[in-house]
Every structure is written in structure tokens, then in C-alpha cells.
Structure 1
Amino acid sequence: MDTITEVPQALKPKLMLWTDVNYHDMEEIEKMQSIPDLESALCRVFGVDLPEPKRGVLLELYVQTVFFCRECNFKKEQTSALLSIIKATHEANIETPLNNIEQCFKYCKELLLCHSVRRPPFSINLFNSEEVTCILNYIYNCYVRHYKLYKYIFTPQLKLDLSLTYSGIPDQDEPTMENSSALDVENEPEGATLGSQSELKGLIEREVREQMTLVSGQMDQRMKDIADQHKSTPNSPQPNQKAKKH
């Protein structure tokens, strides 16, 4: 079944303090020490209802983010905001199967900016400059470097359906001298049919070779023009250079 491929959309950053994880949820998350308990709590908080392996990969992303926040001694509000930033960046990534790595990373940096500069009501200084640097390094190493893997797991695969049309080949639906009579077609020897197929194959091969030769010649000429242009550049007179007097 044909599906419409979504194109990357421009995303507007916004404050995400207590957006997905409220204060009570953070208290429950802080109590969890084992990975299974953390996965269970995060699955409930974010409402993760996905089949494997999507479920396991997404929960692993959230669990590692919680561990990172604990290593950095982040407060509850900082951990909550970072989890929402990770979630928003991931959702921007899997919005389309097309390549949107630049848009995603730009969106992520803009989200961090909203939480590192005091400019209410548009942004707050939740993270200082050192913390922002650590977060950017973490996101790059743990998510951006595996961007294609997340894209492969969470987005549908695209297939290219390529069809070629060759000039000079009669349409199969058009009546020809050979098939003008059904009786003649039925009585046509098998060798003649094989001969027609062989001629058609030869015609297609010649057409392809001619096209490849034409394109190759154009590329060679283009490369020659570029090389000639570079050779003539050093010998060209400078605008401010004066002619020597004899």
C-alpha cells in the first residue's frame, strides 16, 4: 500500500520544564536504582506503548539519560527538562524517513538555549554554560552518532521504483504489421518470436550504450574545460598589475 512520505518540518523550540515528567514523577524516578525498575517507571511516565525492538531502544535512551543526569548531579527540574528535550529531539528525528540530521541538531540546540538563558517568558537559565556543554557532548555521542540507527528502527523504509522509457521502441498496445491478424500471430513460428525478442534486447542495449557514451563525453568535456580554466588562471594578468616599460 502506498504511503505519503513526510518531509522534515521546521520546529519551534519552547520551554519544557515539567512538560512530560512532573515533580511527583521525578520523585518516583529518583527512588529507582535498578535498570528494570527505571524502565518500568519511565515507560509509565512517557506512556511508551511500542513493539520490540522500538520499545527497548527508546527506554534505553531514557534510562541512559537519567544515569547521565545523576552523574552530573542535576536537580529534579533539570532532569525533567533534559528528558523532555531528548524526547522532542527523538520525535523530530523519526517524524520523517528522510535525512533531517541538521534540522534535528539545530532544534536540539535551540531547546537547550531556551533553558540556559534568562529571558522570561521565552527562556530560563536552568542550565549554566558548562552544563550545556556537557549536555551537547552527551547528546552528540549517545544520539547524533547513532542517528541513522534510530532512523532505521523507528521509520518506514523507502524503496525507489524506477522505470525507463526508451525512444524508438513501438508501444506494445499499438497495432503492427506482425500482430494485425490474430491468425498470423497464432501461426507465427516460435523462432520468429525469439528473434523479435533478441532484436528488442539488442535495440535497448544499443540505446543504453549511446546514452552512456553521450553522458561520458559530456563529463569528459566538462572536466577538460575546468582543467583548462585552472591552467589559464595563473597566467591571467592581475587587475592592478602595470605593464613594464621597455
Structure 2
Amino acid sequence: MNRETLSKQISCLLNIAYVPKLEDYLIHPQINIITKHKLWALNAINASIREPKLSQWDYLGKNDVEVFLKLSEYKAIQKFIGCTLKQNVKGNAKTVFVELMVSVHKFCNDHNFDVEKSGATLSQFYLSHLYFTSSFNMPPETVYIFFKEHTMCHTLPFPPNSNIFSLKDAKDLMEFFYQSYIRNLPLIRYLCLPNFTLCFNFCTLKASTTEEKS
């Protein structure tokens, strides 16, 4: 996922007829638990993110990964990724995720990753993106560490970890994550998280200093 793709999405924001809603995002507040007197803009999103562990099939199952890797046409890859998302994910949040996973698909093919390595890579990007979009104030360092710990889970040879990746695979994967995701976090945040503006209408009352003439 390159910066040009993200910048293009931002440039189109003012020209689209569709207005983003909270329900359109990958992770959003549970509307039924928000009381009327609270403002969405002031509420943190409560998302339960588990500790990093083996997760090669968390995004796609083994059979789906095999089908996904065989796709070669750009539109077919986009369509496949779009079908993995919930129907409520719309607009720029959906576009950014689809483009992200398209770039991961290319990375896996370019590095000749097998089904297991590709499944782990896809899941790591998927879980890291969910992790980043689970809060309005997620530091880049925290996201990077989250991804790195998942990588280590799939690289270290002793239990309960598994040496799915070689040391070179892990190095290439971390560099790719930094170049394609961490460097673009400000743009991803702008496109994938709700942006709020609070407007208050008020008027000032000017006290009259004119004395009534007798």
C-alpha cells in the first residue's frame, strides 16, 4: 500500500456524496450501550485485543489462503478481499483495508511464501490493522511492537511458538510492515477512523451603556 493510494482517497473525500458514519468502520462503539447524554466524539472505543500468539489462520482459513494466492488479476484480488469484510464496512475504511491486503498478497507472492507463511502474514496485517483502529489514540510504537511480537511468535523455534518464518523472512516482513503501514499511519488514521468536529453556536449579549435621557 503506497502513499499515492492513500493521498488519492483523501483528495476524493470532499467530492463524494456518501457521508461516513460510525457504523461503517472495522471497529466501532456498540450503539446500544451508549447512553443518550454521551457524545461519541468523547468516548474511547472498547475493543478486546488478545495477546500475540500463533495466528496463521485468523484472517483466512488454509483453503481460502490457497485460493487467494492463486489469484493474479487486481480486480479479482480486490473482490476476494472485499468479500471477507463485514457488510457494514464501507467507504474509505474499506478501500484502505482492501489496498493494504492487496499489497500483502503481492509481498507473499514476490517472496515465494507458501500457504502457511502467507496465512500468518495476512493474519498479522489483519490483526495489526484491527489493533490500530481499535483506539483513537494508538501510538505508532505500540502498533509496531504488536506486529513484531506476532512475527516473533511465528519465528522462534521453541514452544509455544513455531518457526514458520526464517530469520530472513522475519526481517523482510518487519521492513515491509514499516514501509507500507507504519510510515503511513497518519493517513491511515485519517481515512479509517471517524473524524469529529464539535461546533457550538453561541451569541454574545452586549450590555447597553446608554442612559435614558430624562
Q: Tell me the TM-score normalized by structure 1.
A: 0.61
- Picking from 134, 149, 168, the partner of 1:95 is 134
Partner of 2:53, secondary structure, is coil
Within 5 A, what are the aligned runs for 1:127-146? 127-146=165-184
Aligned position for 2:77: 38
Is the counterpart of residue 2 in structure 1 residue 39 in structure 2? Answer: yes
- Asked if the contact 2:49–2:131 (Cα under 8 Å) also holds between the matched residues in 1, the reply is no
- Larger Rg, first or second structure (1 or 2): 1
Is the counterpart of residue 58 in structure 1 residue 58 in structure 2? Answer: no
- Asked if the contact 1:69–1:79 (Cα under 8 Å) also holds between the matched residues in 2, the reply is yes
CA distance in 2, matches of 1:78, 1:46: 22
Aligned position for 1:153: 191
Consecutive aligned runs of 4 or more in structure 1 exceeding 4 Å deviation: 7-11, 46-49, 158-161
CA distance in 2, matches of 1:76, 1:48: 27
Q: Residue 39 of structure 2 aligns to which amino acid in structure 1?
A: D
Within 5 A, what are the aligned runs for 1:1-246? 2-3=39-40, 4-6=43-45, 12-47=51-86, 49-120=88-159, 122-157=160-195, 190-192=208-210
Q: Cα 1:25–1:142, aligned 2, differ >3 Å: closer, same or farther?
A: same
Displacement of 1:57 in angstroms is 1.1
Aligned position for 1:171: none
CA distance in 1, matches of 2:120, 2:171: 16
Q: Residue 112 of structure 2 aligns to which amino acid in structure 1?
A: N
Which region of structure 1 is more displaced relative to structure 2, 29-38 or 135-144?
29-38
Q: Cα 1:24–1:32, aligned 2, differ >3 Å: closer, same or farther?
A: same
- Asked if the contact 1:112–1:132 (Cα under 8 Å) also holds between the matched residues in 2, the reply is yes
- Asked if the contact 1:28–1:41 (Cα under 8 Å) also holds between the matched residues in 2, the reply is no
Higher RCO (C-alpha under 8 Å, 6+ residues apart): 2
Q: Cα 1:49–1:9, aligned 2, differ >3 Å: closer, same or farther?
A: closer
List alignment gaps of at least 5 residues for structure 1.
162-187, 194-246
CA distance in 2, matches of 1:123, 1:77: 14
CA distance in 2, matches of 1:91, 1:136: 18
CA distance in 2, matches of 1:21, 1:108: 18
Q: CA RMSD in A?
A: 2.7
CA distance in 1, matches of 2:83, 2:62: 15
Partner of 2:156, secondary structure, is strand
- Note the alpha carbon deviations across 1:37-63, whole angstroms, 9 max, x for none: 011112223546421122111100001
Aligned residue pairs total 167
- Asked if the contact 1:97–1:158 (Cα under 8 Å) also holds between the matched residues in 2, the reply is no
CA distance in 2, matches of 1:152, 1:88: 19
Q: Cα 1:29–1:155, aligned 2, differ >3 Å: closer, same or farther?
A: same
